[in-house]
Amino acid sequence: MKNFSDLGVETSILNAIQEMGFETPTPIQEQSIPVFLETGQDILGLAQTGTGKTAAFGLPIIQLVEPSNRTIQALVICPTRELCMQISKDLGNYSKNKSSINIVAVYGGSSIERQISDIKRGAHIIVATPGRLMDLMNRRALNISTVKYVVLDEADEMLNMGFEEDVEYILAETPKEKRVCLFSATMPKSIRNIANRYMNDPFEITVGKSNSGNVNITHQYAVVHARDKYAALKRFVDFNSDDIYAIIFCTTKHETQDISDKLIKDGYNADCLHGDLSQGQREKVMNRFRHHAIKILLATDVAARGIDVSGISHVIHFSLPDDIENYTHRSGRTGRAGKLGVSFTLLNMRENGRLRDIERLSNVKFEKILIPSAEEVRDKKLVAFIDTIVNTEIEESIFDDKVMTSLRPLLTLPNEELVKKFLSLELRRFSVEYLNAPDLNTTSGDRTRDGERGERGGNVRGQRIFVSVGKKDGFDIRSFKDWVAQESKLDWKELHVDVSGVFSFVDVKEELAEKVITALNGNTYEGRPVRAELSGEKPGGSREGRGGRGGDRGGRSGGGGYSSRRSEGGSSSYGGGDRRRSSGGDRDSRGGDRERAPRTERSDRSSYGRSEGTTERSGYGTRDGGRNRSYGGDKPAGDRPSGERRRRRD
């Protein structure tokens, strides 16, 4: 495997990127950097965000720009101010050891005078959004007739946003002799036309399959009535809330604000990003999201472009994008840096048909899931909460004499009563909200697009196998699935897993169950004996199949479930874990990430993990309770306010 030095990157840049943690080049970097540095060829890259394309063009530009030449030598054009700021920040980092290179970012929504004075001080590289760049050109504040390198980043998005004419105008103002690099996640005809007109026999790079989605992303959808979308969204979030860090896409600014307001009112740790917010407000929201003070970000497509936040667990499409190609852009926010992610679409029945187009155009395969039932949400909360308590180490230093005296009223309570009181506090909101809560899945929507009956919770169902290892043994969903696949010699695709703190479940087709049990039962994992047997539970309810998330943050155990929620029962910190909650309505969240309690020894919880864990689980709430209740008649769809697409200037 080649390293950056093999690609021709100079030492000062090598040192800078090493500090950024870049050890080996990504595929697009491996292909584009030598071409950029060593040949005079233009580059046409079919690549999505998250592939490392900024460095693919950024490192050669930093290397090739001549500090002593005080004219603008490189121009990077991108669709949004967020991306513009991100690229200029990245370029600044790459050139850390070459301080004589000036990079100026110009974008709308920020003082043009300041940008003009920055340009006047001397810019080697301009990173710009098309609207502001045109503005500066018209004011004669910037001269691009000297540029040697032009990069069009996220070109398809620029065209989607109506910047085609602007881009052509800008390109026409650049000198004939120049290098052009064009990166795009998709390659519609309009991009091909630009490439044909403005590029000279470009070197073509495709990262992954053309238009293919990221393999780390699981694409799921559920069909609900339009009027139930918000309730379904909440249920999905509740089911996954122990580790959710999500972007929810809406089509219009109004919808974005509306859903965000509702979620905040309902106690979720959410906020929104759209074009009606001032630059300052947008930056504030982004900062809080980046620092996990907000766990759920609602955004329009335009506002979300260029957001580079790592660790997004879910991308949720509250509405499908008007432009199908935006689906790829949206989904690309998750499943980055080798982590698994879920892209989940909430469809109303009218939107059902559009999935086919997305599958075809974006080359992704959708898996139908069902919105978890109220019982399943509660069941999962309960299991997770028990799991947290079982795994919490007692912090003896807290319990001095004074505290012990204060605790006396609790200590005199019978054990069962005490446990029930704590659980009541923890689960009160769910008990109230989900009392008699209907099944939100549409019956007609149960039909998959292939005409088959959609199975609850996913497409690999048959037998559920209990396995006596879990997160406590260091597993997360990915590593557990890997291990099961390896031991049983089955393919990943044939397995659905649900990893809990001290035990796990594997769901497989009936005929494969014996094979898995034989492979795992009596086996050892890191020297410990493993028990595997039919769980007696029906498959389903797993994180993967049931509104679930394919990824996991390794080592976290189930968690009490709503780290991002405000508890109405007022159960604040509990069991030694500092459960910092969002303060909800005032938006002044104090950061929703709960610290995990240290692991306890395996022996502390072995009895729980084996039989009690499973019986409790299945005994709590009937899995198909209320499942077949019908919920009113169908209301005409059309929950989405008119999704007008307008030309938007940054």
Per CB under 6 A, residues contacting ligand AMP are: 21-22, 25-26, 29, 49-55, 308
Residue with Cβ nearer ligand AMP (88 or 567):
88
- Cα 352 to Cα 319, 481, 554, 570, 603: the distances in Å are 11, 31, 34, 41, 49
- Cα 309 to Cα 107, 214, 313, 317: the distances in Å are 20, 16, 11, 17
Residue with Cβ nearer ligand AMP (55 or 158):
55
Name which of 287, 298, 337, 293 is nearest 85 in CA terms. Answer: 287
Percent helix, percent strand, percent coil in the chain, to nearest 5: 40, 15, 45
Amino acid residing at 164 = E
CB of 336 to ligand AMP, least distance (A): 6
Residue with Cβ nearer ligand AMP (54 or 542):
54
Residue with Cβ nearer ligand AMP (21 or 409):
21
Residue with Cβ nearer ligand AMP (20 or 534):
20
DSSP one-letter code for 407: T
Signed CA dihedral, 80, 82, 86, 88: sign only: positive
What angle, 0 to 180 degrees and rounded to 10, lies between the N-to-C axes of helices 11-19 and 53-64?
150
Residue with Cβ nearer ligand AMP (21 or 632):
21
Contact 231, 373 (CB under 8 A): no
How many H-runs (helices) and E-runs (strands) does the chain carry? Answer: 23, 20
Give every CB contact of residue 557 below 8 A, 6+ residues apart in sequence. Answer: 387, 388, 391, 470, 471, 472, 500, 501, 596
CB of 221 to ligand AMP, least distance (A): 26
CB of 309 to ligand AMP, least distance (A): 9
Amino acid residing at 221 = Y
CB of 360 to ligand AMP, least distance (A): 25
Torsion angle in degrees (nearest 10) through CA of 463, 467, 472, 476 = -40
What is the C-alpha separation between 443 and 378, in angstroms, rounded? 23
CB of 551 to ligand AMP, least distance (A): 16
Residue with Cβ nearer ligand AMP (79 or 501):
79
Residue with Cβ nearer ligand AMP (25 or 457):
25
CB of 183 to ligand AMP, least distance (A): 9
CB of 408 to ligand AMP, least distance (A): 53
CB of 126 to ligand AMP, least distance (A): 18
Residue with Cβ nearer ligand AMP (29 or 373):
29
CB of 5 to ligand AMP, least distance (A): 13
DSSP codes, 455-484: PTT-S--SEEEEES--GGGT--HHHHHHHH
